[in-house]
């Protein structure tokens, strides 16, 4: 009798039996994971480029044109912009709408457009094309911007647009270099709520 078919059959039966055995549970993981809590809202640390630990008193650079006024008890939202800055121009209507929305919700916010254009003629031509946008002052000497940027917590070469939120006490609470998009409205609300009494 040939043994090969018998050995092959026995081996096949043995393999079939071992594959039918009940498998034990997988080995325990070596690391126990803990689920992190989801943040409740937008992070001011991610939204603001500068949030002073000890808030500093806000001061404008030397201005040309109108002198800004602020209602008592209101936040100031200073938008630093230029006529040649496409993102600045694109976001201006959005900022005005957000100011109206915040006011409607009972938050006093004064939005101020602060131009860094070198000459008044550029700003006047821009305003003639965009009469629906609020007027604002212009920085008297753009060469002095580097020092002013540092005073609000930014690098001297910070890009425009720049947003500065100043609380009703006159303290800088948040500075952002770069534009804001529709998704940032909740962050703006949080900035203003961060120092509410």
Mean pLDDT score across all residues of the chain: 86
Tokens representing 147 are 């020092």
Pairing of strands 75-81, 138-139: unpaired
Question: How far from chain centre, in Å, is Cα 81?
Answer: 17
At which residue do the structure tokens 């209507």 appear? 93
Tokens representing 114 are 């602060």
The whole-number pLDDT of residue 64 equals 93
**Contact criterion met (CB below 8 Å) for 80 and 92:** no
Q: What is the pTM of this model?
A: 0.78
Is the backbone peptide bond immediately before 161 cis, with ω within 30 degrees of 0? yes
Q: Which CATH number fits domain 82-193: 3.40.30.10, 3.40.50.300, 3.30.70.260, 3.30.70.520?
A: 3.40.30.10
Domain positions in the chain: 82-193
The whole-number pLDDT of residue 194 equals 83
**Contact criterion met (CB below 8 Å) for 80 and 177:** no
Burial 84-102 (b: 16+ CB within 10 A, else e): ebeebbebbeebbebbeeb
Mean pLDDT by 10 residues, the chain (197 residues): 62 58 61 57 82 89 90 96 98 98 95 96 96 94 94 94 97 96 96 77
- Contacts of residues 11-16 at CB distance under 8 Å and 24 or more positions apart, as own/partner, are none
**Contact criterion met (CB below 8 Å) for 66 and 136:** yes
């Amino acid at each position: 009798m040939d043994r090969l078919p018998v050995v092959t059959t026995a081996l096949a039966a043995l393999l079939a039996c071992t594959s039918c055995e009940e498998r034990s549970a997988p080995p325990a993981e070596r690391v126990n994971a803990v689920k992190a809590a989801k943040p409740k809202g937008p992070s001011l640390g991610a939204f603001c480029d500068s949030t002073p630990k000890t808030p500093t008193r806000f001061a404008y650079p030397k201005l040309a044109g109108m002198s800004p006024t602020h209602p008592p008890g209101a936040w100031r939202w200073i938008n630093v912009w230029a006529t040649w800055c496409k993102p600045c121009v694109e976001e201006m209507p959005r900022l005005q709408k957000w100011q109206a929305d915040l006011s409607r919700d009972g938050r006093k916010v004064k939005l101020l457009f602060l131009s860094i254009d070198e000459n008044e003629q550029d700003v006047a031509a821009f305003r003639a094309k965009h009469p629906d946008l609020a007027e604002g002052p212009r920085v008297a000497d753009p060469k002095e911007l580097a020092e002013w940027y540092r005073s609000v917590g930014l690098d001297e070469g910070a890009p425009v647009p720049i947003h500065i939120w100043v609380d009703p006490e006159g303290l800088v609470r948040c500075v952002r270099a770069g534009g804001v998009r529709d998704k940032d409205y909740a962050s703006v609300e949080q900035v203003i709520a961060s120092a509410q009494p």
